[in-house]
Amino acid sequence: MNFQSLKYYSEQFSDSVLLTNTAGEHLFLSTEDFEMFSKNPAVLSDSIRSLLKSRFFLYDESNEKSFNHIYDIKYRTKHSYLENESLLLMVVPTISCNCSCVYCQVNSRKNNATENDMSLKTALSFCDFVFALPHKNIKIEFQGGEPSLRFDTIELIARRITHLNRRYHKFIEYVICTNLLNFSEHELKILKKYGIAISTSLDGSREVHNQNRPSVYYKSTYDTLLQNIELARKNKIFPSALVTTTALNLHRMREIIDTYIENHFESIFLRPLNNYGCAFKNQNVYYKLEDYIAAYKEAILYLIDRNLKDNINLREEMFSIILRKIFSPFNDGFVDMQNPCALGQMCMLVKQNGDIYPSDESRMISEMGNEHWKMGNVNNKNCLLTMKEKRSEILENGKLENYEECKDCVYSPFCDADPIKKWYIHNIAGEDYESYCGIRKELFQFVFEQIKTADEQKLNLFKRWANA
């Protein structure tokens, strides 16, 4: 029998070798078996050869046709976003904000000037734009500034879209990204009416949160936030939350996790700082990436321990997304981490003036005065055409296999191509090219190490997180 192997990647992991391939499969082999596999698969034991075949590392030449057919289905399932299945569509009702976070990445405005807000005309054009797009499943995310400061616009958009959708029958979901300071029963009633979920920020204990996220209008943003989380829960809305890591909370990961457990969250998203907006100007909030990754690993190990020993139920989102990439045959739905790049296809943002961008980061670049990534404007009837041109530029530069430092990386089947970040590093941040990978390699390595050494109980926990 003649055996062929699909293109694979490999890396030594202490006593074994990690193999990955473009079918999205992985396998740990002993160093000896790996030697045999790479030189002459015919001498491998039947059981190892079957394992390699089941994970698409090996096939019999006589079965090439069916192998290619199944491989094709697997690839298309993982990349369903390329067929306009789903879209995350962010919209900014206002760039004004009632908070002054030390790291604000969107340069929110502290005044109430009318140009900070989306006009009625633009809000209506946005609703038409939603139905001009080909996507079947659209998640509309209200972003800011602080979007709740223009709750009238949020209500208008939700009402109009619900009305128009009687004709189009798209699957539409809503979420509001809010600091949850400006909420009362009235706003919650509207959220409930349209099924709008809440995503908020909780950066740690009272002391840390108030320092990271101060406001001249609220004595303690932490206390107001927690009061409003309780109010939302009483109304059967269960906010999710994320942590932005700054120099202040970097070394307080256990305390942050304890705060989330005490406040009955089921997920936590630990997010490193992006070098945009205020964060770009306020370098005091920064830290070295290796310090972040060390803190992140400590946090995950602590979290795993608490889940297993104390029977709590809290997962970390980034760790879970990577697990999903590794274990699930389906697309993980995380727009920021796709290859080919999904920005502008699976993700778009419409700013308060109607300008369209492929991602939140490209809007942040625009707030820094550079319009390179603008795709069009919803008030312009030709916007679908101008968007197509920008999307082609993103796709052309958004394939990992064309990135010199990535093309042989063992993690590339699970990693993402981000031409916008590449462009930003080169043209604005002035960092060297090496910083493109950032924490990704260490992060993937850490997750695979955890999988490799997991016992059954831990593996069950990881599978639960991957499917959450």
Least distance between ligand SF4 and beta carbon 448 (Å): 11
Rounded Cα distance between 210 and 225, Å, is: 10
Instruction: Between 97 and 387, name the residue whose CB sits nearer to ligand SF4.
Output: 97
Binding flag, residue 401, ligand SF4 (CB under 6 A): no
Contacts of 323 (CB under 8 A, 6+ apart): 447, 451, 462, 463, 465, 466
Which of 97, 202, 279, 447 binds ligand SF4 (CB under 6 A)? It is 97
Which of 101, 196, 387, 420 binds ligand SF4 (CB under 6 A)? It is 101
Q: How large is the angle between the packed helices 120-132 and 151-168, nearest 10 degrees?
A: 30
Q: How large is the angle between the packed helices 289-309 and 440-453, nearest 10 degrees?
A: 30
Rounded Cα distance between 451 and 148, Å, is: 41
Binding flag, residue 415, ligand SF4 (CB under 6 A): yes
Binding flag, residue 209, ligand SF4 (CB under 6 A): no
Instruction: Between 133 and 439, name the residue whose CB sits nearer to ligand SF4.
Output: 439
Binding flag, residue 179, ligand SF4 (CB under 6 A): yes
- For ligand SF4 (CB under 6 A), the number of binding residues is 23
Least distance between ligand SF4 and beta carbon 167 (Å): 35
Least distance between ligand SF4 and beta carbon 71 (Å): 21
Of 85-93, 161-169, 321-329, 435-443, the segment contacting ligand SF4 by CB under 6 A is: 435-443
Query: Look-up: residue for tokens 């927690």?
Result: 226
Instruction: Between 144 and 354, name the residue whose CB sits nearer to ligand SF4.
Output: 144
Binding flag, residue 144, ligand SF4 (CB under 6 A): yes
Rounded Cα distance between 68 and 72, Å, is: 6
Binding flag, residue 289, ligand SF4 (CB under 6 A): no
Rounded Cα distance between 351 and 357, Å, is: 8
**Cβ neighbours of 292 (radius 10 Å):** 20
Binding flag, residue 290, ligand SF4 (CB under 6 A): no
Least distance between ligand SF4 and beta carbon 9 (Å): 9
Which of 53, 206, 441, 458 binds ligand SF4 (CB under 6 A)? It is 441
Closest CA to 89 of 148, 134, 156, 152: 134
Distance from chain centroid for Cα 5: 32
Closest CA to 93 of 140, 32, 30, 144: 144
- Write out the residues near ligand SF4 by the rule CB under 6 A: 97, 99-101, 104, 106, 108, 144-146, 179, 213, 400, 405-406, 409, 411-412, 415, 437, 440-441, 444
